[in-house]
Structures are given as C-alpha cells and as structure tokens.
Structure 1
Amino acid sequence: MHRLPGLDLLRSIAIVWVMLFHSFLVGGLGPDFAWLSRFGWAGVDIFFVLSGFLIGSQLLRTLQRGEPLSLRDFYWRRAWRILPAFAVMLTVYVAFPVLREAPGLAPWWQFATFTLNLLVDYGHNQAFSHAWSLCVEEHFYLLFPLLAWWVTRRPSTARFLGLCAALVLLGIALRSGVWLHNDAAQPPRNWYIEDIYYPTWMRLDGLLMGVVLAALCVYRPALWARLQARSTWLLLGGVAAAGLALFLFRNRTGLVANAVGWPLLSFGFGLLVLSATAPRGWLGRWAVPGAGWLAAASYSLYLSHKLVMHAVQEWLAPALPLQGLGLFAVYVVAIALVGAALHYAVERPCLQLRDRLRSRARGGSVGPSPQGRRAAG
C-alpha cells in the first residue's frame, strides 16, 4: 500500500495524543490544558484501527488474488518490525532501574512472551506498562492470518458480518459482566486496568473496525470508492461518533462507557480512517509538515517516551529556570531526540536488513519501496 498522507496525519495525532496523556508523569501541561490530555488514552485506539486496516488489507488482498498465504513470511516481517526496538527498550528497563518511570517492573518474561496485558500486577509493576498495547497487537498478528484464511475459504458476506457482530456483542457482554462482578466484589487491586482495559479479548473493537474497513476496500472496491467520495461527511460522522464515545467516557471506569463506549469509539475512528484514505478529502489532501516523520517514528517514540519523561524530570528539569510551556518544550525535544535515535539506529536498520535478507532468499528480487514498507510495516 502506498503512502497515504491522511493516515500519516492520524498516526501522528495518535502518538502525540498518547504522549500528552502520559505527560501526567511530569505534571502535564498544567490545569489549563487538562482537557487536551485527559482523553489521550484514546490515541491507542486510533493505532488499533490503523493496524487492523493496514494489516487486514495486506493479508486480505493476498487471499483475494488467490495467492497462497505464507504465514512464515508474514511472521518474519512482523518480527523484524516489532522485536528489535522492543528488545532494546526492554533491555534498558531491565538493566537500568534508575531510568524507569515507576519503581516496579513486571518480570521480563511477561514482556518477552507478550503476556504482560494478561498477567500484570498493575498496583506494583507500572514501569513500561504501555507495552500492553503491543501485546494486543502481537496477539492480533498471531491469530488474524489464520482467521482470515478460514473466513475467505468460502467467502460469505453474511457470515463475515455475523462474525463481526458476534465479536462486538461478545465484547460488550464480557466487559459488562466483568465490570458488574468486580464492582460488587471490589477486589483490592486495580481491577479496571487489569481485567477490562488491558486484556486482549476486551479490546478487539478497534482492530475489528480496521479489518472491516480492509474487507470493504478489498472486496467491495466500488462501494469503497463511493464512500471515499463522501469523505467530508465521513469526517464529520467520525468526529461526532468519537465525540459521543468520549462523552460517555467522562467517567472512564463507568459501566456504560466500558460496555458500549469502545465499539462506538472504534466506529468513529474507523470513519476517520476511511475519510483519511480519500486523496481529495480534508484529511488526505495535503501532507502536513512533520506528520510523515511522526508517523514513521511513532513506534520508537511510543516505546521510549515514558522513560525520557522520567529522565528529564529527575536530572534536567531541576537545573533549568523554566516552567509551564517552556519546560514542556524541553520534554518534547528530549522525547523527539531519543525516539529518533531508536528509530534511526535500531528500527530502520533492522527493517533494511530484513528486506535484504528477504531479497537474497528470493534470488535478489526487488523489495518494496521505503514508502510501502512504512505503510504496510
């Protein structure tokens, strides 16, 4: 898939929004800007929708052409995309406790096996806890190719829509049941994070919405084109749906928000993603300066930003005669520098090595362009 400026813009918004949310670790931007960062956790859900769409499009397009699905090749590409930078950051967190943004760190094997989001004791182990979303993504990478192969063996729109509806309803039922049980029992732990917010089976709505978009794009191209022609209405509808969901999430841990807020939020973000794919739409018409770089480096920025915030807070900020926005600018520069270092020293070289090894294995065939690598991962 070629580079789409609109998707770059959404990805850059997502990473900045997440980092603003986590800025509470250093006091944030102050009370006047609390509204900007309060719902920053939703940036992860934009990532989920984008991942579902991009990975789903890649795999479904292969299956739609009748080509054999190479699980080995898919997992090979995903491993080189995810593991090197993740391994570097995990090593830093394990080897240098002084750098951690919180004292407690879950056992290294929970990170290495991507089971952190299922086993974490959040009350005691909050360092590098944002890796929970990588666990959800890895579970998706592991299972979706098999599910896509099974569903497309005998393509059926009714069966596909029925499966999607069942997953949405199952998520609503699971979250509601777990919420009601824990609200009544009140276990002495952060059960909202551990039992509802983190587990993969509770957070499938965004990925599912992305896959639905991918299926629409691959199997119903005429309808896809007609929808793209209405990108402005999609943008407005996406903002309205996401806004309604965030209104429900005023009480982030409430029953109504966690029962129906997640699919509604994912639907809104899905409309925004669809609008962003339209070349002449408001989101996709222009390449916003800096958005392409933020999108390309978003993974490295996501992995490292908490650690950088803590380092600046402990060692640099006390020595600077700055407050408010001026001090926050220092955090921004430091995060960008460390994220760029991880991106250019680890992430990109490993992707280039991956493509060289793949090219040699295929007898020297030319691999995808850099733009294609960034789009499809």
Structure 2
Amino acid sequence: MKHIYELDGVRALSIIAVLSAHLLPLGPSWMELNHSTALLGMSMFFALSGFLITNFLYSSPDRIAAFFIRRTMRIAPLLWLYAFIVAVLIFGRWDSFLAVITFTMNYRDDMIMPGMSHLWSICVEFHFYIFIGLTIWAFGRRGFWLVPLVFLIILALRIDVGATDNIRTHLRVDEIFAGSLTALLWRNRDHGLARKAYGLIGKGFWLWFVLLLLSCHKSMGGLMFFRPFFGFLVLTALLDMKEGWLRRFLRWNVFTYIAGISYALYIWHPLFRLGWLGEQGSKLFFYLVKRPIAIFLSFLFAHISTNTYERYFMKLGRRMEAKLDAREKTRSDQTGG
C-alpha cells in the first residue's frame, strides 16, 4: 500500500497529545483538559493502528503467520525490556512483569505500578491482533464482515455498563475497530454504498473533529460513548480530503520523524516521572526543570531505541518472514501450485 504521509501527522499529533497530557499541565485543573487530551490522543492512536493492521490483512489475507511475526517483533521486544526495567529492576515485581509479557495487565489492576500504568493499551492492541488475525485466518476476507458487528456489540456493551473510559479490552477495543472500519470503507470506496458513504463522510471533517473533541471531555456525558465512532468519521474524512493546508501540515517532516519514534516515545516517557524526576519539590522547579528534562530524555531514549534495539528485532522479523515465504513457495512448487 502507498504510504500515506498525512497519517504520520495524525500519529505524531496523537503521541504529542498523550505526552502533553501525562507530562504537562494543560489549562486550569478544573477544566480537566489533561484527561480529555489523553483520551483524544489514545483514540486516534488506536484508530490508526486498526486502519494499518486491517489494510495489511485485507491486501494479504493469506499471510497470517507473517502478520503475527511482524506485530510481535514490533511490539514485544521494547515492551518486555521496559517492563523488566521498571517492574523487576526498580520495583522487584516479577508478577507484574509476567502480567505484561502475557498481555493481561489491563485485567490485573493489582499489577499496575507507577511507570507502568500506560501499558494497558498495548494489551488492548495485542488482543485485537489475536482476534483479527485468527478471524482472517479462519474465514479469509469474509471475516471482515465481523468488524462492524463487533464494533456495534462493544458500543452497546459500553453503554450498558456505563463505560465511557475503560482499560479492559472488551470495553475499549472499539477504538481500534473504528480504524478497521475506516480501512474497509477506504478499500471499497469505489464501489456501491461504500462510495456514497465515503463521499458523504468526507464532506464533514470539521464537524466530526469538533464532535470528537467534545466526546473526549467528561462533561459531555453520553456523548463520550460515541468517541470511537467520531474517530472513525474523522479518519475517514481526512483520507477523502482534497489537497490543502491541513494535508500539507500533516506531511511536515518533523511529524514524519515523531511518528517514526512514536511507539518508543509512548513506552519510555513514564519512566521519567519516577524518582528524582517525580513531583516532589516546588511546582516551579518541577515544571521548569524536571519536566523539560523528562521530555528531552523521552525523545533521546525513543530515538536511540528505535534506531538500535527495535531496528534489530524488526530486521530479525523480516528475515523470519522471508524464510517463511521461501518455505511456502517451496511447498507450493512441490504441490504444483
């Protein structure tokens, strides 16, 4: 699939929103902008993940093993390294480390410690990988018909239990399915009802964006349930948007760089809220000295790990994929196609 650089901009702005919400004061505390900004960033981050994963599987529904290799090598090595540093080396909690490496932490509140509370989202992502991968393995492209059904089931479940903001997979993964819906609509945008829906949604970008912003704030009550749906509308409308200042802005090279290290930024940044860099001391010193140091270290560690540690495992994953493809080709040749 042709690289869509505008999505790099969305990814970069999403991680900037998350980091800002976690590391900076955003307006007066009574406005609760930190919470709503974090929700906005995670919602779009999840939607992008669903979009990219679905696009890969839609174009390569017969490469499920390669899909699992690729996603595991992308997600697990840094996640497990970070969890070992924080859970084992800092807190001496092997049980918490085990909850991370088995992707069960978002169902084990007692395993969540300072510096690790953000790892719930990786569990949600990996659970989505398992579901969508096995679904396409079992049913091929027909399995994608389950995407809108599951999206609606989770929405109904969230409304039933009143979960506007939750870390359990079954009460949050609809934000990833929102991106999956966008991918399916985008892939079929030249056909029938999908073409009409795609064109109609594309005309309302700024309306959808405002509704998405509103649905991220606690004061909006029931509107928050529809945050994943508004994320779907925003992402779909962006892909249909004509060339203009917004698309040029999202293609900014700085955003492309930040998008490239975004996963590492997300993983590393809570480490620099621990110890001396924590909130003890005067607020002035905390925000003028400690927080800039934390932001600098987050980018430094993200840059280094992306281009060394993570790159090694990504290359290893590609070699494993190549061997897998070679075996499949040999098997196909031996069976006559």
* Range that drifts further, 233-242 or 11-20: 233-242
Offset, 1:72: 1.6
Secondary structure of the residue aligned to 2:273 is helix
Q: Residues 286-319 of structure 1, C-alpha deviation per residue, up to 9 Å, x if partnerless?
A: 422411111110110101100023256259x979
Shift of 1:59: 0.5
CA distance in 2, matches of 1:239, 1:177: 26
1:110 aligns with 2:99: yes
How far the C-alpha of 1:245 sits from its partner, in A, is 1.2
Amino acid at match of 2:183: A
Name stretches of at least 5 consecutive residues in structure 2 with no aligned partner.
328-337
Q: Hey, what does 2:330 align to over in structure 1?
A: none
Residue of structure 2 in register with 1:375 after alignment: none
The aligned residue for residue 265 of structure 1 is 227
Given the alignment of the two structures, is residue 288 of structure 1 paired with residue 252 of structure 2, yes or no?
yes
Give the secondary structure class of the aligned counterpart of 1:14.
Answer: helix
CA distance 1:345–1:120, shift in 2 (3 Å)? same
Equivalent-residue separation in structure 2 for 1:111 and 1:136 (angstroms)? 12
1:233 aligns with 2:226: no
Report SS of the residue matched to 1:221.
coil
Q: What TM-score, normalized by structure 2, do the two folds share? A: 0.80
1:327-369 Cα shifts (integer Å, max 9, x gaps): 54333212211221222221122212322443355569xxxxx
Structure 1 counterpart of 2:35, which letter? Answer: R
CA distance in 2, matches of 1:174, 1:360: 42
Kindly provide the CA deviation profile for residues 60-83 of structure 1, in whole angstroms up to 9, marking residues without a partner as x.
Answer: 1224xxxxx132211111111111
Change (3 A) 1:147 1:349: same
Q: Which has the higher contact order (CA 8 A, sep 6+)?
A: 1
Pairwise CA RMSD of aligned residues? 3.6
| Secondary structure, counterpart of 1:197 in structure 2 | coil
Aligned partner of residue 44 in structure 2, secondary structure = helix
In the TM superposition, 1:143-292 aligns within 5 A as 143-149=131-137, 152=140, 160=145, 163=146, 166-179=149-162, 197-221=166-190, 233-247=203-217, 249-250=218-219, 256-257=221-222, 261-262=224-225, 264-278=226-240, 280-286=243-249, 287-292=251-256
Shift of 1:147: 2.2
Q: Does structure 2 retain, via aligned residues, the 8 Å contact 1:205–1:266?
A: yes
Q: What is the DSSP-based 3-state SS (H/G/I as helix, E as strand, rest coil) of the residue aligned with 1:121?
A: helix
Distance in 1 between residues matched to 2:87 and 2:185, nearest whole Å: 43
Hey, what's the Cα distance between the residues in 2 that align with 1:173 and 1:326? 46
CA shift at 1:165, angstroms?
A: 5.4
What does residue 37 of structure 2 align with?
40
Does structure 2 retain, via aligned residues, the 8 Å contact 1:239–1:268? yes
Structure 1 unaligned blocks of 5 or more: 64-68, 180-191, 365-377
Structure 1 letter corresponding to 2:68: Y
Aligned to 2:334: none
Task: Specify the alignment match of 1:301 in structure 2.
Answer: 265
1:97 CA drift (Å): 1.6
C-alpha displacement of 1:131:
0.7
2:83 counterpart residue number = 90
* TM-score of the two chains, using structure 1 as the length reference: 0.73
Contact 2:188–2:195 (8 Å) recurs in 1: no
Q: Deviations over 1:249-306 (max 9, x none)?
A: 227xxxx44xx523x2122222332244357254433422411111110110101100
- Partner residue of 1:187? none
8 Å contact from structure 2 (residues 46, 179) kept in 1 = yes
Distance in 2 separating the partners of 1:349 and 1:361: 18
The one-letter code matched in structure 1 to 2:106 is N
Offset of 1:112 from its aligned partner? Answer: 1.0
Distance in 2 (CA, whole Å) between partners of 1:294 and 1:120 is 31
Deviations along 1:213-262, whole A, 9 cap, x unmatched? Answer: 11112233357777777897342132122033134x227xxxx44xx523
Q: Which has the higher helix share?
A: 2
CA displacement at 1:54 relative to structure 2? 0.6
How many pairs were matched up?
Answer: 323
Q: Using the TM superposition, give the Cα deviation of residue 130 of structure 1 relative to its aligned residue in structure 2, in angstroms.
A: 0.7
Q: Deviations over 1:130-179 (max 9, x none)?
A: 110100110111110232355556589xxx3xx55543443244334434
1:9 match: secondary structure:
helix
